[in-house]
Structure 1
């Protein structure tokens, strides 16, 4: 068995609390001593001009197209949805939204990484702003560090505003500087905005688990996140925009200009050698072209290599990005009743006296209504006593519960796995079926791959339905990052939340709940093959845990955490019990 590389990092601030090695502690102390002469603080009396989503989306081409398709489907107040399972589909859909936007683009993310996939999105955002589109980017502050801070340069360009949510004072030169800045109020620094939204003209939007960066779009050098998004159209998008506005206009949202100058942002960028700079440029272009070239499409006329415009036209929203191909029939949507579950910004403000039910509270309520079965996909699954009790009651009523989460080897945050491991045997005892993602996937389409073949297009357009859903991972190593629930084969929930205490108590989250047997069945057809062929099934047998190898893998069953190195297993045993699970 081969240990997985620890190259991906969990989107959380958990490093603020866990024990650190002696050398890191020494560095931390040195940094603290260096900063004692003048503790950083956030600016006061910040000017935050209030702005809101586009009030009349029907005045845009996207809005009119959504209206036309809604009327043709007799949708009424229902909203339209399309699962975006493949990395190529998820990426080109975002690019196409940028291309199609006429008046507004609103992006809300926990993290935006400076790499090839983001470079192309940033370039397209600049082009949109130049043609008069108002661009608002709301970004959690924690990871705006070093080279990843370069996206903040957009804030100094016309028609583009960026606000940083819940900023941590102090240096942005490294994550160590972030940790030092958090020491003034560690409890507040732990609360992070984890929401993910990408909205064009308040008419179409994308929600789900992905941040922006190579590893989220199948372009990671060594490992990639397995993720799931949903494209939304119609009334639900206006709900998403209202949630965005509530965070954008919140006192915790600081315009970049109040925290940094353009020169200070530029100083955080690494200066490569001339050779390295050229290599990086070549790599960026080749990766971006590869992503576009891999967009699901029919071969171009004459068998020639597809140009960028042709690749865009073949993406799920490409028809909306090219005026001559505005044809909503190429974007089949499932129309269904839906609601948005969203945490209020007050959760991050730490207003305990006026706490409202959270997204995870809402999910617990929905679980208790399940009659037959529930499928849970959560990368970081730390149920806590309350959720465990809910699941026990469900099992007593005969509800089948299946959970797909990360294995120790595939988990980008092994200490988060420690919280899950505490509950594993008790979950098995009450009859919960546990599946743990294997980091080595069998092929490009084995992780939530092309299992929606032939569904939903009605006209046999292979470029938009069927195998066009693509794969989630561009390479063989994978880490589960999708967050979804399917209840009774009729309710589907997709969002940014994990089923853990961090999502319940610390992070703000957002999710879409769709009541649609069609979407539920499509989701299950995407997920279930991975559970069988890309995950270990865990069983308690004769008082010990057994990991049954994925079907067709040819691997033996295991009685220890499969694929994990000895050091990881020791970490789980020794450090894991010390970690407070509400921070995992």
Structure 2
């Protein structure tokens, strides 16, 4: 009887998880949130290394006079995280209004004790995307992957950096950390505020509140794209279909939908040069193996793939024809396309795009060509992991 019960449980659990995921996905699609923004003016600074990013970010936090609104996917309990939280507590004690949102799963190390300490200092705190019933399994997959900071309505930050020692290159396994993060000024900061406030409403039930109007307007065309799973695929495809000369993609995880991948293959057919950078190292199980078949197919179609070998590559960038680029929180994978909340920044400025293109090409120089490395990788064990990763693609 015990054996029969075990067999029933083994069969029943996958069926229940599959039903939970299917019903949860339908509910998600019925309730997609779409924050529609148009181009606005602004200025920007790009950070690709952790030390200068955190130096600038902390300086802006210390200079805050009125309000700080911050959301991160990951905040940990290490030295840089403690410094960040202590800084916020100090500003709250100075009388600055502070709202802090953290993803409930990504920032699981920030528990109830730390939350009480933050609230006792005067910080308004909320967990984002708390898993719950119904559809617990699906809700566990639905993460808020956005990283946004808005300071006094004047300065905004958005991009790939979270808060933890690895983002400073201090993780001995991952080594140097390459990421792309923007510091924004001008009218565009209003759209980051609106994105933050919409998530704050979902996390707390509190109405959106006021938008602080920046004193500066800026003189570059920028557009915020805030997605909730289901819209990002169309955004990326639209950009790819505009390409006539080249498409450069930087991503830690290359696991596109088949529809998105076919748009890349069509671009190759019309003669567009495609270059992709992914990391040599992997920071999560199976993500590298899930991407290998797509990378192989792309190189077979004439695309070029490079594996960054100077640490870990976490940049999320899409560059089109030296005239348009996208930098944000979204990876080129199924999770960002269909599950996560993401926020991306489209920049329409030739000079910036050309400079970004040069940064991308420099990262290529610190990478190995995929073809040679793929032949070394493709052993029996890798083939088994590729098979497992194929089944797990919706969650990767």
Q: 1:414–1:568: 8 Å Cα contact kept in structure 2?
A: no
Counterpart of 2:127 in structure 1 is: 164
Query: In structure 2, what is the equivalent of residue 430 of structure 1?
Result: 301
Instruction: Report the structure, 1 or 2, having the larger strand content.
Output: 2
Q: Which residue of 2 aligns with 1:99?
A: 62
Post-superposition Cα deviations, 1:51-109, rounded to whole Å, max 9, x if no partner, equal xxxxxxxxxxxxxxxxxxxxxxxxx9621011112211111111011111111111111
- Would you say 1:133 and 2:96 are equivalent positions? yes
Deviation at 1:166, TM superposition (A): 1.9
| Long gaps (5+) in structure 1 | 1-24, 30-75, 170-181, 256-327, 348-356, 442-477, 540-545, 548-557
Question: In structure 2, what is the equivalent of residue 487 of structure 1?
Answer: 320
1:511 shift after superposition = 0.5
Q: Does structure 2 conserve the Cα–Cα contact (< 8 Å) formed by 1:437 and 1:479?
A: yes
Q: 1:245 aligns with which of 188, 197, 201?
A: 197
User: In structure 2, what is the equivalent of residue 219 of structure 1?
Assistant: 170
Q: Which one has the largest radius of gyration?
A: 1
Match of 1:229 among 169, 181, 193: 181
2:227 is matched with which residue?
Answer: 343
Q: Show the counterpart of 1:416.
A: 287
Q: 2:376 aligns to what SS in structure 1? A: coil
> 1:426/1:146 Cα in 2 relative to 1: closer, same or farther (>3 Å)?
closer
Look up the match of 2:108.
145
Q: Which residue of 2 aligns with 1:538?
A: 370
Distance 1:104 1:223, change over 3 A: same
Give 1:185 shift.
Answer: 1.6
Matched, 1:197 2:197: no
- How far the C-alpha of 1:211 sits from its partner, in A, is 1.0
> What CA distance in whole angstroms lies between the structure 2 residues aligned with 1:561 and 1:381?
17
Provide the secondary structure at the position in 1 that maps to 2:286. Answer: helix
TM-score, normalisation: structure 1:
0.56
CA 1:197 to 1:425, structure 2 compared with 1: closer, same or farther past 3 Å?
A: same
Cα deviation, 1:296-325, whole Å, max 9, x if unaligned, reads xxxxxxxxxxxxxxxxxxxxxxxxxxxxxx
Q: Secondary structure of 1:249's partner?
A: helix
Offset of residue 365 of structure 1: 0.8
Local SS of the residue matching 1:401:
strand
SS in 2 for 1:223: coil
1:528-568 CA distance string (max 9 Å, x none):
12212x211123xxxxxx23xxxxxxxxxx72129xxx897
Indicate the RMSD between aligned Cα atoms, in angstroms: 2.8
Decide whether the 8 Å contact of 2:222 with 2:347 is kept in 1: yes
> In structure 2, how many angstroms separate the alpha carbons of the residues matched to 1:568 and 1:207?
38
Match of 2:360 among 502, 511, 527: 527
Aligned to 2:262: 389
Q: TM-score, normalised by structure 2?
A: 0.81
Alignment partner of 2:253 out of 358, 362, 380: 380
CA contact (8 A) 2:43 2:184 kept: yes
Counterpart in 1 of 2:236?
363
Report what 1:207 is aligned to: 158
In the TM superposition, 1:59-74 aligns within 5 A as none
Change (3 A) 1:77 1:427: closer
